[in-house]
Amino acid sequence: MVNHVVVLGSINVDTTYHVNRFPQPGETIAAQSKSSAPGGKGANQAVAAARSGAQTVFVGAVGSDNEGQYMLEALKENDIDTSHINIDKYHGTGSAAITLDANGQNDIMVYGGANQAMQPGEFGDLSELLAHTDFLIAQFETPQAVALDLFKQAKEQGVTTVLNPAPAHEIMPELLQYTDVIAPNETECALLTGIELTDEASMLKSADYFRERGVKHLLITLGDRGVFYATPNGHGLVPAFKVKAVDTTAAGDTFIGALCSQLEKDLANVEDSLRYAQRASSLTVQRMGAMPSIPTGEDVKAALKQE
């Protein structure tokens, strides 16, 4: 069975500066090298889903600039349907400046551009598209009001909605009411709930927090400790794969996209899907760049067989 995934999200051109260490405030340091690659949380998640076999459609916006054309081509090369990507004549294509240190850690500055200029209703009635969709994914590099508009349409068509609240900031209460699955990392989860994650009890308390606000399923990525899941049918921790990271950019995005390529709409196979998604993410961090580092389904399955 092939999952049909729609991603509402950001499209950025990433410029990465490779340094030995991060600069101190006010300090100027030399970068060893500089590279550019297609990225953006939404685009990365769509590519991860498509490379793992999902039929993938992107909903978003780029500027009427060279970077926008570059990103449209990059998505098309990954067999992603770009017919619902609008061209914004007034705002540039989103971009990100990434500083990557010798340990594979990064910090990122994002210019939203066309991503943040999107307005509710600008994509019109997507009911025909959503009628054939299994999962709709959104993040927070695009306006929450746009996500709410599409999530409402998705629920009318029986689509499972997935919210990746990154970067974390206060969530519109109504958006949570239309969210089936929320997937923060541990830092984002603590910021959103005010609950410090110290043990299983605190993670279950976080699940209760979201469930009281309408979200049935919680997935918390815990870095090298794995992923905690809590659904109406149970909870548990799926351990991470131990690898040496060279670049953590797009690791979380790979996880989300790969997960939705494998997951059943009712999350009945959540543990197997989480294991697959974590294996995909573990391959991403062993490669440089955002989109270029995302593995194919064949890569992931081969790696799982080696376990």
Six-digit token string for 299: 């890569």
**Would you say 222 is a known binding-site residue?**
yes
Centre a 10 Å sphere on the Cβ of residue 128 and count the other Cβ atoms it contains: 8
Active site residues: 253
Q: Is 13 annotated as a binding residue?
A: yes
Distance CA 68, CA 62 (A): 5
170 is in an annotated binding site: no
Give the helix/strand (H/E) hosting 15.
strand 12-18
266 is in an annotated binding site: no
Q: Does 40 carry a binding-site annotation? A: yes
| 158 SS3 class | coil
Q: Is 64 annotated as a binding residue?
A: no
Report the alpha-carbon distance of residue 230 to residue 203 in Å, rounded: 8
Indicate the pairing of strand 106-111 with strand 181-182: unpaired
Pairing verdict, β 80-88 and 160-163: unpaired
Is 125 annotated in a binding site? The answer is no
One-letter amino acid of 11: I
Which helix (H) or strand (E) is 218 found in, with range? strand 217-221
Q: Are strands 94-100 and 106-111 parallel, antiparallel or unpaired?
A: antiparallel
- Does residue 247 have a known ligand-binding role? yes
Annotated binding-site residue? 231: no
Q: Is 293 marked as binding a ligand?
A: yes
Residue list for the binding site for K(+): 247, 249, 284, 287, 289, 293
- The annotation places the binding site at 12-14, 40-44, 141, 185, 221-226, 247, 249, 252-253, 284, 287, 289, 293
Question: Residue positions in the annotated binding site for substrate?
Answer: 12-14, 40-44, 141, 253
Binding-site residues for ATP, in ranges, read 185, 221-226, 252-253
